[in-house]
Chains A and B, each alone.
Chain A
């Protein structure tokens, strides 16, 4: 019984390695099959290693993005599963670190505290004003630069995520953001000198 199971597992691992090798050559069907196949496996690993994580789907997404960005690091002559497990493990560690860092910076507040409510109202008013000003400024940027700023700076996506979303290379995005920020600085400083 156990032998059958391990035989089945090794067959599956060989199948995944084969699909991965095809994906490296650009075979989209093989890639889709592989991702659909491994999604529950990743979920199980995340659950087994970090059952305390509140949003395991976030880690699964992160693993997919890492796998995509590091497709070239897989050596087809080596087993697939240890490579995948290592990536999942790293992403879990990164996620836990990120969450604990966030927890150190943030603190819980009493929602009925009047002072907190006043600050929140002030912040909300400021945020509305800033949002209007920002949308006006963004409207003066060329389409490509606007998209790059929106994805990277406003939505907070990583370069690879933004590259996937926009279909533009990482280098192009970096250049666009750089130019956009320069242009925004120029517009703001001109507005200040004009009073």
Chain B
């Protein structure tokens, strides 16, 4: 054995302190989700439920609009906590994917239906893709809540530098944006077609891409090993 390795072992043994093993990722993900839900419920309570949302609450579309991103958020959060552990399967990354695909299809169908287009609904959808119909306040609200939730998720998983950093960040990004979108459905008025597509799918996909590119550095930023 190399002399340096022997010295390192001596130093490590000298500085050993008793540690409490981390609780199971399931438990920690549930704790984080509870905190996130309380935070988002507080935002909805402070901002107030918009009248349009109150009217639409009796329709199944409204609940699909809320539950689809919520399920992606829950799946993403559990996957992120799993991937933060070093010995978990990388295939956890795919957990939020099926729900996200269904969500994307549903958002597109919803957009088609709302346009009530005779014949080709895609023409109507693309025709309605006007930049001025995008809700900037809604996007900003989602971005802000996503950033706050994202930071708390990173802090919860600060040991993720040992695990699959990038995959963890990708799933975490999907989780925080989806939950933020689910909450925004309550306090923002019905969005235009571009807003629906940007918020519901585009934003989540962009956040995942962001997580893929910068996730590694983000996790390193909060790790005690920095």
Contact = CB atoms under 8 A, between A and B. Distances in A.
Size class of the A contact interface (CB-based, 8 Å): 35 or more
B22 A73 contact: yes
A36 B12 CA distance: 12
A122 interface: no
B15 A26 contact: no
Identify whether the interface residues of B are mostly helix, strand, loop, or mixed: loop
A69 B162 CA distance: 9
10 contacts: A24-B19, A39-B5, A39-B9, A64-B8, A65-B12, A66-B225, A70-B159, A74-B21, A90-B86, A160-B224
A160 B22 CA distance: 19
B16 A159 contact: no
Contacts of B87: 78, 82-83, 85-86
B92 to A, nearest CB: 13
Nearest to B226: A159
B5 A61 contact: yes
Interface string B142-173: 00000000000000000100111000000000
A64 B11 CA distance: 11
B119 interface: no
Size class of the B contact interface (CB-based, 8 Å): 20 to 34
A25 B18 contact: yes
A60 B19 contact: no
A170 B15 CA distance: 13
B225 A159 contact: yes
Nearest to B17: A26
Contacts of A85: 87
A91 B58 CA distance: 53
B86 A164 contact: no
Contacts of A40: 1
B87 to A, nearest CB: 4
Given A24-B18, A70-B159, A165-B11, 14 more contacts: A35-B9, A39-B1, A40-B1, A60-B2, A60-B5, A64-B9, A70-B162, A72-B19, A72-B21, A73-B159, A75-B21, A90-B86, A158-B226, A170-B224
